[in-house]
Amino acid sequence: MKKGFTLAVLFFLTAIGALAPEAFALEVDRNELGTANAASIEFINYNGPHSVVSTAAEITGIGTALGSSLLAAGVSGDGTRYRIIHAVDPAVATGLDADILVLGANAGVDHIDNIRRILAGYLSAAYGYSAKDANTLAVFVTVYNAVNRGKLEALSKKYKPVVMGYVTSDKVGLSLRYDEWAGRSQIIVPLSEARLTGTVSTIDTTSLTAPEVVGKIKEDANAGVDTRKDMVDLKEREADAAQNRAETAQKDAATARTDAQAAQSDLAAAKTDAQAAQKAADQAAKAAAANPQDEAAQQKAAETAAAAAEKKQEVADKQQAADQANATVAKNEQQAAADQKLADTKNTEAQAERKDIATDVQKQVDQNAAAAKAAEKNALAETVPAYALRIVDEKNLLAELQLVDLNSGKLLKTSPLNSIRNRTLVDTGAGLMAVAGKKGGNATVRLVLVDSSSLELIKEGADSIAESSMLVRLNNDYFAVVETDSGAALARFDGNLAIKAKSTVNVLPSTVITATDKGILVQDSKGLIRLLRSTDLVDLAGK
């Protein structure tokens, strides 16, 4: 070990020894495993019988015992099973300190959830993290170490020599395989600067959320959204705490600055007094030297010399007080700047990560919607669907559109559109066309187009349709009665519900519309049958 960092190796002794020996089998009740965070990277766990099953609390307790004595001793645990090394060097300013969880050759852990439980227990016991925060950090720590498995050179550029002195290339980090954990794992937990120990920023979350780490967590089936949200929440609280410390330090700096100004004024006054005292002493000494037999002169010289010495000491004391006051100002300003920088950094990281999460959530929503649509399409492919109109308002003959399986007679889907009029539905190939709606209030009657698969309304026309109008198809044209300022008229629509022609003949709103090869037969407003040309709806008899 490094000179000056002799760390006494402590065994579990009372704390860990008090645990039941069978706890070290580290197989947790499978029902409890279901409550752990979902795997964020494809760790290969042991799945098979165990001689002893431990509870989640017992496994977490191992970490709690390790963390309880870590800071005081520097090393905690049993090197043959589980040990944590608190590798810190205050004398080195560059690089990160770290805690290192070492899995000894006799470590019984064989499921990633149990490693995370040990980590969470230690983080709570050593640094006061809540159970939720400790669990979140534990997930990121394991993925971080899987990403950095064996990367000794890269890690050496990030961590202090005191950390690198405890790790080796064949053991550093965490393997993805459970059978490579015991005796071959040195799990690094990055620490923030020492002044933050015991705060919510004890662990360096910036390192734990490096892009390559988050990228692995995002490989989870649900993009690791819940775990990532918990980390963002933690960072936001880091930012708030740092901001509060910065504001407090700024206030302390302002107070210290006032004190420093006062100390500087006292120093200036003391220097003036000291100069006057020294001048008086010099004059008295000169007079005494000129009159060696004059006892009064000798006495005055001694007294003024003593007074000058006293004033000189007072200047020294005032100088020390002024220097201390200035040092306090500098310290508070430095702390305020450091905490403000930390607050800004964590806010920036949290905002970026929250935005990234929102993007992934939307992707997941879109994927789920696409999957649901595909599943629905596949389900429909196994049926013989048919459209049916179910009357919902017998008085006004309003109906809703339904899809029914002709094989079973079961209802497959109901359209939200429930105001189809006059029991008529026309399949255009691009959708289902109908006259829909009712009069009154904000409601109106229009031609509508409904998606033939989802049964959702995809388009509505711009023209007011007579409530009692029929809807008739002739080739690629569709005929219905529209309401105009001069009365009802027959209109020809295209498949996009746009009017292409309108009759000058007023027709009965409820006229029967009969399409023939020679034209369209309708009944006019006087009760007479008229033959209209199917293209421009001109009255052929009146040409």
- Has residue 226 been placed in a domain? no
- Has residue 487 been placed in a domain? yes
Q: What DSSP string describes 490-511?
A: EEEE-TTS-EEEEEEEEB-TT-
Q: Do 422 and 393 share a structural domain?
A: yes
Mean per-residue pLDDT, 285-290: 88
User: Is residue 241's pLDDT more than 90?
Assistant: no
Residue 51 has a pLDDT of 55
Q: Do 451 and 324 share a structural domain?
A: no
62-114 pLDDT, tens digit each? 999 999 999 999 999 998 999 999 999 999 999 999 999 999 999 988 899 99
Residue 31 has a pLDDT of 37
For residues 217 and 146, the answer to whether their CB atoms sit within 8 Å is no
End position of a domain, from candidates 344, 364, 379: 379
End position of a domain, from candidates 379, 408, 431: 379
496-540 pLDDT, tens digit each? 999 999 999 999 999 999 999 999 999 999 999 999 999 999 999
Residue 191 lies in domain: 13-220
Which whole-number Å values give the CA distances from 154 to 147, 157, 159, 167, 506, in the listed order?
Answer: 11, 6, 9, 13, 86
Q: Do 214 and 102 share a structural domain?
A: yes
- Has residue 231 been placed in a domain? no
337: amino acid identity, one letter: A
- Residue 309: is it exposed, middle or buried by C-beta count within 10 angstroms (0-12/13-18/19+)? middle
* pTM for this model (two decimals): 0.60
Task: Report the domain count for the chain.
Answer: 3
Distance CA 316, CA 273 (A): 13
Distance CA 58, CA 440 (A): 70
- Has residue 6 been placed in a domain? no
Which domain CATH number covers 429? 2.130.10.10
- Has residue 3 been placed in a domain? no
Distance CA 140, CA 258 (A): 45
20-49 pLDDT, tens digit each? 333 334 444 433 333 334 334 688 887 776
Mean per-residue pLDDT, 367-394: 84
- Has residue 350 been placed in a domain? yes
